[in-house]
Amino acid sequence: MQTQIEQIPGYTYGQVDPSPVSEADLDLLKQTVLFSDEDVQYLRLAGIILEDQTDAVLDVWYGFVGAHPHLARYFGKNNNLDANYLANVRRRFGKWIMDTCTRAYDQDWLNYQHEIGLRHLVKKNQTDGVDAEPIIHFRYLVAFIVPITATIKPFLASKGHSASKVEKMYAAWFKATTLTVTLWCYPYTKAGTF
Amino acid sequence: MQTQIEQIPGYTYGQVDPSPVSEADLDLLKQTVLFSDEDVQYLRLAGIILEDQTDAVLDVWYGFVGAHPHLARYFGKNNNLDANYLANVRRRFGKWIMDTCTRAYDQDWLNYQHEIGLRHLVKKNQTDGVDAEPIIHFRYLVAFIVPITATIKPFLASKGHSASKVEKMYAAWFKATTLTVTLWCYPYTKAGTF
């Protein structure tokens, strides 16, 4: 597992600066998105189901981004997309799916969500050493909650689990996605308003 | 209808400053949340279904807020909640449910979403002339996408529509909620990053 992690370019989970968000803050956020221990269990199940499907999920997401120039443009400059940059981000995005399902939501996890937020704004392009659009605009982080949530259900349902279990995994995924996107937004917010 | 609107304190739809977000921006945002003409139709149906249930929906939402001191506190100061403030916001929130289902998403709609965003931050307390917490923290705007979405399904399902229609109304509501919350966030974002 460690070998696999080290092979993902720029994946530095556990090795980043502290998030300004504490575990106490996270606890209140969890309450706000109705996140319970049951959701943790259903995310674990989702992780088992999604593990060999992450490439297929990413095909859907990247197909969606690729079909929309207003989204694809962030992977390059002047509409010249950087294939290597796309590939690196794709591998980290795949790892994010698994991390979301399997990791403990502790301070290390908070720190890495903050790092992901920074990489959309002030640290964009640094990780991969590319010359692309300088930032991803805020609006698309929040808006992306919908495609990232809505497209996951068929994958959760693809291995014969009951409709009730699929719904519970889907609900847990929706909460987890909203939670992480909220944290990614921190660097975009004016001082004292997060 | 006009009489009813005028009775809602602080409800100034159509009479606010322009949003910095254009209809062209909105079109790209709609594409990002997969919002289609079919969603408009299902929001209209949801509006018919929810019209006589908005008080019951608000009971659920306010029950949720009231049960969580980290959310209820915004309706007052030092945990002294302002009942009149709560009541005014509640009426506007009920109107927002119906506006979300029935209004055209045009420049007037964009302008009012921006006004709602301002009323969570720099214009908080002004509309109702109250002395409460000075801002609502950003994190809870985005996090609230979950309870506002998840709690609506039983109300959509309460009038005998097929499971398939309920799912389509629910999906349209999720997209509309994410769209509006994205717009509400504008005033919180650093210059040039939205």
**Model pLDDT for residues B84-124, shown as the tens digit of each residue:** 999 999 999 999 999 999 999 999 999 999 999 999 999 99
User: Three-state DSSP class for A44?
Assistant: helix
User: Three-state DSSP class for B189?
Assistant: strand
Q: Which amino acid is at B31?
A: Q
- Asked if B185 and A142 come within 8 Å (Cβ–Cβ), the reply is yes
- Give how far Cα A140 sits from Cα of A7, A145, B43, B117, Å: 28, 9, 22, 17
- Given a cut of 50, whether residue A1 has pLDDT beyond it is no
Q: Which residues of B touch A33 (CB under 8 A)?
A: 143, 146-147
Q: What is the pTM of this model?
A: 0.96
- Asked if A34 and B135 come within 8 Å (Cβ–Cβ), the reply is no
Q: What pLDDT was estimated at residue B7?
A: 87
Q: Domain spans of chain B?
A: 20-188
- Between B4 and A79, the higher pLDDT residue: A79
B76: confidence class by pLDDT, cuts 50, 70, 90: very high
Q: If you measure CA to CA, which chain B residue comes closest to A30?
A: B143
Q: Is A139 on the interface with B (CB under 8 A)?
A: yes
d(CA B194, CA B186): 6
- Asked if A181 and B142 come within 8 Å (Cβ–Cβ), the reply is yes
Q: Is B184 on the interface with A (CB under 8 A)?
A: no
Picking from B31, B32, B146, the nearest residue to A34 by CB comes out as B146
Whole-number mean pLDDT of chain A?
A: 96
- Given a cut of 60, whether residue B2 has pLDDT beyond it is no
Closest-CA distance, A11 to chain B, in angstroms, reads 25
Can you tell me the ipTM of this complex? 0.96
- Given a cut of 60, whether residue A194 has pLDDT beyond it is yes
Q: What pLDDT was estimated at residue B1?
A: 47
d(CA B145, CA B174): 8
Q: What pLDDT was estimated at residue B14?
A: 97
Q: Is A143 on the interface with B (CB under 8 A)?
A: yes
Q: Which residues of A touch B176 (CB under 8 A)?
A: none
> What mean pLDDT is predicted for residues A55-63?
97
- Given a cut of 60, whether residue B190 has pLDDT beyond it is yes
- Given a cut of 80, whether residue B4 has pLDDT beyond it is no
- What the block records as the tokens of A86 is 């796309």
Q: What pLDDT was estimated at residue A121?
A: 98
Q: Which residues of B touch A34 (CB under 8 A)?
A: 146-147, 150
Instruction: Please provide the CATH number assigned to the domain covering A20-188.
Output: 1.10.490.10
Q: What pLDDT was estimated at residue A7?
A: 86
How many percent of chain B have pLDDT more than 70?
A: 97
Picking from A31, A33, A142, the nearest residue to B182 by CB comes out as A142
A125 Rama sector, left if φ>0, alpha if ψ -120 to 50, beta otherwise:
left
Is the Cβ–Cβ distance between B135 and B121 less than 8 Å?
yes
- Asked if A193 and B145 come within 8 Å (Cβ–Cβ), the reply is no
Q: Indicate which of A146, A170, A175, A189 best probes the interface with B, i.e. most B CBs within 10 Å of its own CB.
A: A146
d(CA A93, CA B32): 18
Which tens digits make up the pLDDT trace of A14-39?
Answer: 999 999 999 999 999 999 999 999 99
Q: Which residues of A touch B135 (CB under 8 A)?
A: 193
Q: What is the DSSP letter of A76?
A: E
Q: Is A9 on the interface with B (CB under 8 A)?
A: no
User: Three-state DSSP class for A38?
Assistant: helix
Whole-number mean pLDDT of chain B?
A: 96
